[in-house]
């Protein structure tokens, strides 16, 4: 009888999947975690994990790369929408349903390689103009730490361009993104570690609990089986120990 009930539950969930509106997964352009190749294909360590997680659920889905502020607003207000990789902060906790961690993110403050900027503490860093993009969790961190001069852009690439043009003096970025930029010859230099936190999938509150539970189980298995580590290695990402 117990097995029959389990089979019935599985059938009911599968039937719901068949009729379900595709889940829209949104992210920003942020190599090596998420980016679009010249041919149009989406790639990155986050994209690869989403594809594996959702293949196991058998739920239809789509992927979109959008400006972060727009994407996170859509995830919060529209059913069947999720955003990744979002920092799971106290301020965001109740606004979404979570599947974590896609990454453990160590965020660092970075300066232009030719810049004379020098800071070893948060207080010293507050003397400079620091840029980030709207609605990114680093905007909230900068404000909570009391940074007085914050320059906001629409996306990561715009902020990086401002840094390289010396229009801002520092910006926070993932250590993985920093390492990829350095490997590509981009003139950026690490200042110091800014923060560390879990990043994951943040889904609209209307997302069914059964789907969140299944996605979390698939991510847990991906981590346990070493697949997540293999993905990080493929993109040259070193995760904090």
**Residues counted in the chain:** 241
pLDDT at 58: 87
Q: What does the pLDDT average to over 118-142?
A: 95
Model confidence at 70, pLDDT cuts 50, 70, 90, reads very high
Query: Does residue 202 surpass a pLDDT of 90?
Result: yes
- 110 pLDDT exceeds 50? yes
Confidence band of 238 (pLDDT split at 50, 70, 90): confident
Domain locations in the chain?
2-104+198-234, 105-197
Return d(Cα 100, Cα 188) in angstroms, integer: 30
For residues 212 and 98, give the distance between their C-alpha atoms in angstroms, rounded to a whole number: 7
Query: Across the chain, what does the average pLDDT equal?
Result: 91
Binned at pLDDT 50, 70 and 90, residue 11 comes out as very low
Whether the pLDDT of residue 18 is over 50: the answer is no
Rounded Cα distance, 18 and 32, in Å:
33
CATH superfamily of 2-104+198-234: Periplasmic binding protein-like II (3.40.190.10)
Contact 131, 110 (CB under 8 A): no
Cα(54)–Cα(73) distance, integer angstroms: 22
Q: What was the pLDDT predicted at 134?
A: 94
Question: What pLDDT score does 1 carry?
Answer: 36
The CATH number that domain 105-197 falls under is: 3.40.190.10
Give the integer Cα–Cα distance in Å for 114 and 128. 15
Domains 2-104+198-234 and 105-197 share a fold: yes
In this predicted structure, the answer to whether residue 119 has a pLDDT above a threshold of 50 is yes
Q: Is the pLDDT of residue 190 over 50?
A: yes
- Percent of the chain surpassing pLDDT 90: 84
């Amino acid at each position: 009888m117990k097995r029959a009930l389990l089979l019935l539950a599985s059938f009911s969930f599968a039937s719901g999947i068949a009729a379900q509106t595709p889940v829209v997964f949104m992210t920003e352009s942020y190599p090596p975690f998420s980016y679009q190749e010249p041919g149009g294909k989406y790639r990155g360590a986050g994209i690869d994990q989403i594809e594996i997680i959702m293949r196991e659920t058998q739920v239809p889905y789509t992927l979109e790369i959008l400006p972060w502020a727009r994407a996170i607003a859509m995830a919060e207000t529209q059913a069947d929408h999720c955003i990744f990789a979002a920092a799971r902060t106290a301020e965001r906790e109740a606004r979404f349903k979570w599947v974590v961690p896609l990454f453990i993110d160590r965020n660092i403050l970075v300066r232009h390689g030719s810049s004379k900027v020098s800071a070893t503490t948060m207080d010293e860093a507050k003397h400079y103009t620091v840029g980030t993009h709207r609605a990114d969790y680093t905007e909230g961190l900068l404000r909570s730490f009391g940074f007085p001069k914050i320059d906001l852009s629409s996306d990561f690439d715009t902020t990086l361009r401002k840094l390289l043009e010396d229009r801002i003096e520092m910006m926070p970025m993932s250590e993985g993104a920093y390492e990829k930029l350095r490997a590509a010859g981009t003139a950026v230099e690490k200042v110091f570690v800014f923060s560390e936190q879990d990043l994951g999938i943040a889904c609209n509150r209307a997302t069914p609990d059964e789907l969140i539970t299944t996605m979390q189980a698939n991510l847990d298995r991906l981590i346990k089986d070493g697949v997540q580590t293999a993905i990080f290695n493929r993109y040259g990402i070193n995760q904090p120990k």
